Amino acid sequence: MSRVGQLWQSLRFAPLAIALLFLSGITPANAQMEFDIDRSTLEAWIFQGNGAQSQRDAKSALESAVRVKVQALTNEFGLTETQRETLLLAARGDMKRFFDRVTRCFAQVEGMQMDEDGFQKAWEMTLPLQQELRKGLFEEDSLFTKVLHRTLTAEQSQQVREAEEMRDRQRTEAIVNAYIAMLDTQIPMLAKQRSQLSEMLRDAITKLPKDQDEYMMMMVVYHAGRLPREKLLEIFDEEQMKALDRLGSEMEGAEEWMREEGLLVEPAGEED
Amino acid sequence: MSSVSGRTKLHRQFSLIALVLFVPASSVAQDEVGPVVEVGEAARIVDDAIIVQDVVQGAIIDGAIVEIEGVNDEKALAAMRDAAQASLLTDMKFLLRLELAFAKRACPLDKDQLELVRQKLEERLPGCKDMVMDVAVFRNGFGFGMGGGMATVAATTSEGHSLKENPYSRIQKEMEKTLQELVTPEQLARYQEEVQAKNDFHRQSSVGMVVELIDQRLSLSAEQRQTIRQRLIERWENPASISFEMYFNNPEYIPAVPESAVQPFLNKDQRNIWSRLNRHDFPIQVQSDQFGVFGDE
C-alpha cells in the first residue's frame, strides 16, 4: 500500500481505535501500559462498525443478508430449489472461512502481551477482518459469486448480466447526481447545466467498483476533475469555470493512489 | 507525482467532502448523558468560544453541558448563542454571494439591480439569526444546540453550530422576497422557475441516493426500487438536508425516512435487516468557500 494509502487508513481508523479504547473502558493496567483486552473488545473492533454488537449478531445479520440475496435472485431469475440450496451452501462456506479467520485472530491475540505494541498489533490484526466484513462477504471474489456464475443456466446468466448492468447504471446515476447536488451548493448551477454535467459524468464513468463504497463520492470527484475543459467551457460561465479549475487541480496526484487501491477500473490513458 | 504532494492534495480533497467521525449531538437523549468531567476539572465546549474554568460537575457531550455549578449561566448562555450567531452570519454572507451568482444566471440583473439586491439582502441577514437552535435546559444545567433533546438538527454552520432550518433554503426565501420588491415580474418568474428546478433536482437526487443505500443493504428487486422511490418522493418531507457521504462510511446507518415509504414493501428477511439499521439523519454542514470563488473579491 502506498504512503498516501497508509496515511488514509491510519487517519480513518486511529480516531476509532482511540474512541473504542475509552468507550469500552480499556485502561492501562499499570505504569508500563499493559492493556486488558478481552474477547468482547475484539468483537467490538471487528463487528461494531458493521452494525452488529457481537459475533453472534454478525452471524445472524449475514444469514439474513444471504437469504435476502438468494430470494431476490429467485424472484427475478427463477432459480430452482437445487440452485437455491447450492448458493446457500456456498454462502455458508464464505461465512465459515471468515469466522474461522476471526477465531484464529482471537486465539493469536489472546496469547499476546498487551503492552502498547501488543495493543497496536491486535488492532492491526482485527482491521482486515473489519474491512472485509464492511465490503461484504458475498461480493465479487467470494465463493458465493463464483458458484452463482457456475450454477446459472446460459439464459439466467444473460438475465443476471443485464440486470447488473441496469443496476450499475442506476447506481452511477444516483451517486453522480448526489455529487452534483453537493457541488451545486458551492457552484450554483442552472437546470440545464446540472443536466449536461450529469450526462457528461455518467458517460465518463464506465464503472464504479462495487466493494469500495466509502470511496464512491471521491471516485466521482476524481472523474469530474478529469472532464475535458473545452467541454466544460461550453456549459459553464467564467466564474463557475474558475471553481471547476480549482477542483481539477485538487485531484491532481490522487490518481496514483486510487489506481494502487484498485479504485480505477480502466488502465491509464483509456479513460478519456 | 511524489507521495507527499499526493498526500497533501488528497487530504484537502477529503476535507472537501467532509468525511468526519463524530457523535451527533441530536442523537443523544437526555437520559443517556453521563458524567465525564469530575468536580474541580476544567472543561470546555468542543471547539467553541466559551471556556468554563469554574468548578464543573456534570457532562460535556459535543457542545452540551449538564449540571454546572459556579458558572454564570446567563453569561455563558449568551456567549454560546453569540458565537453560534456569529458563525451563522459569516456563513450566510457566503451563501448570499452564492445566491446572487445564481440569481444573475437565472434572471440576468443589470448593474443597478444587482447592487440594490445585494444591499437589500444584506439588510435581511441579521433576521436569519432565528435559525440558531435554541438552548435546551435539562437536569440542573443547560445544553446547547440540543433543542430540548427532541428537535431535529436541520443543518450545522461551517463551525458546527446546530441550526433548526436549512440555510440554503432560507437564503432562497430571502432572495425571493428581495427580488419581489426590486425586479420585473418576468425576472422574478425566471428565478422562481430555476429555484423550483434546483429544489426538485436536490429532492430527486436525495431520494435516488437513499434508494441506492437501501438497495445496498436489502438487495431490492427492480419493482421494490421503483415503488420505494415513488413513495419517498411523495412522503419524505425534507430529503435535501442530509449529508450522504456519512452513510458510505457507516453502513449500519440509514436516513430517517418515513417507514410507510419502505417497510410495507419489504419481505420478511428484508424487514429483519431493515429493523436492525440505525435511523439517523446526518445533517448537512454549510461549506465555506472551498473553491476560492470569491477569494479575490
DSSP secondary structure letters along B162-229: EESS-HHHHHHHHHHHHHHHHS-HHHHHHHHHHHHHHHHHHHHHHHHHHHHHHHHHH---HHHHHHHH
Alpha carbon distance B145, B62 (integer Å)? 9
Q: What is the pLDDT along chain B (297 residues), one digit of tens a residue?
A: 333 233 222 222 222 222 222 223 333 333 333 333 333 333 333 333 233 322 233 333 333 444 444 444 566 667 778 888 999 999 999 999 999 999 999 999 999 999 999 999 999 999 999 998 865 444 344 444 433 343 577 888 998 888 888 999 999 999 999 999 999 999 999 999 999 999 999 999 999 999 999 998 888 988 999 999 999 999 988 777 788 877 877 777 899 999 999 999 999 889 988 988 888 888 888 887 776 666 544
Q: Where is average pLDDT lowest: A24-28, A225-229, B129-133? A: A24-28
Q: What is the DSSP string of A61-128?
A: HHHHHHHHHHHHHHHHH---HHHHHHHHHHHHHHHHHHHHHHHHHHHHHHTS--SHHHHHHHHHHHHH
As a whole number of angstroms, the distance between CA B68 and CA B58 comes to 6
d(CA B100, CA B96): 6
The three three-digit cell numbers of residue B190, written as one number:
425566471
Check CB contact of A50 with chain B, cutoff 8 Å.
Answer: yes
Runs of H (alpha helix) within chain B? 3-16, 73-106, 111-124, 167-182, 185-218, 222-235, 245-249, 268-276
Tell if the CB–CB gap between A72 and B291 is shorter than 8 Å.
no
Report CA dihedral (B9, B10, B14, B17) to the nearest 10 degrees.
70
Whether A253 contacts chain B with CB within 8 A: yes
List the 53-92 stretch of B: residues with Cβ below 8 A of A: none
**Model confidence pTM above 0.90:** no
Candidates A87, A217, A241, A261: best to mutate against B (most CBs of B within 10 A) is A217
Cβ within 8 Å, pair A188-B16: no
Three cell numbers, residue B230: 415513488
Query: What is the rounded distance in angstroms from the CA atom of residue A186 to the CA atom of residue B191?
Result: 18
In chain B, residues with a C-beta closer than 8 Å to the C-beta of A186 are 98, 287, 289-291, 293
Which among A163, A171, A254 has CB closest to B212? A171
Q: Are B219 and A175 in contact (CB < 8 Å)?
A: no
Distance from CA of B70 to the nearest CA of A (A): 28
Q: Do A216 and B272 touch (CB under 8 A)?
A: no
pLDDT per position as a tens digit, B218-240: 889 889 999 999 999 999 887 77
**CB under 8 Å to B27, separation ≥6 — which residues?**
B280
Q: Residue A68's closest CA among A19, A154, A141, A138? A: A138
C-alpha cell at B163: 441550526
* Mean pLDDT over each residue of chain A, to the nearest integer: 80
| pLDDT, average across residues A43-69 | 83
Give the torsion through C-alpha atoms of B149, B152, B154, B158, to 10 deg.
Answer: 20
**Cβ(B158)–Cβ(B87) below 8 Å:** yes
Q: Residue B292 has what pLDDT?
A: 66
pLDDT tens string A176-193: 999 999 899 989 999 999
Task: Tell me if A254 and B9 make a contact (CB, 8 A cut-off).
Answer: yes
Where residue A5 falls among pLDDT bands split at 50, 70, 90? very low
Asked whether the predicted pLDDT for residue A44 surpasses 70, the reply is yes
Return the C-alpha torsion angle B282, B287, B291, B296, nearest 10. Answer: 180
Chain A contact for B276, CB < 8 A?
yes
CA distance B74 to chain A (A): 32
- Whether B280 and B27 have beta carbons less than 8 Å apart is answered as yes
Please say whether the beta carbons of A149 and A157 come within 8 A: yes
The closest alpha carbon to A20, from B21, B277, B31, belongs to B21
Rounded distance, CA A268 to CA A64, Å?
A: 40
Q: How many C-beta atoms lie closer than 10 Å to residue B223's C-beta?
A: 11
- Binary contact (A51, B276; C-beta < 8 A): yes
Question: Chain A, 174-193: which have a CB under 8 Å from a chain B CB?
Answer: 174-175, 177-178, 180-182, 184-191
User: Which amino acid is residue B224, in one-letter code?
Assistant: Q
Nearest to A257 among B6, B204, B276 (CB): B6
For helices B185-218 and B222-235, angle between their N-to-C axes, nearest 10 degrees: 140
CB B246 within 8 A of CB B282: yes
Using a CB-CB cut-off of 8 Å, the residues of chain A touching B20 are: none
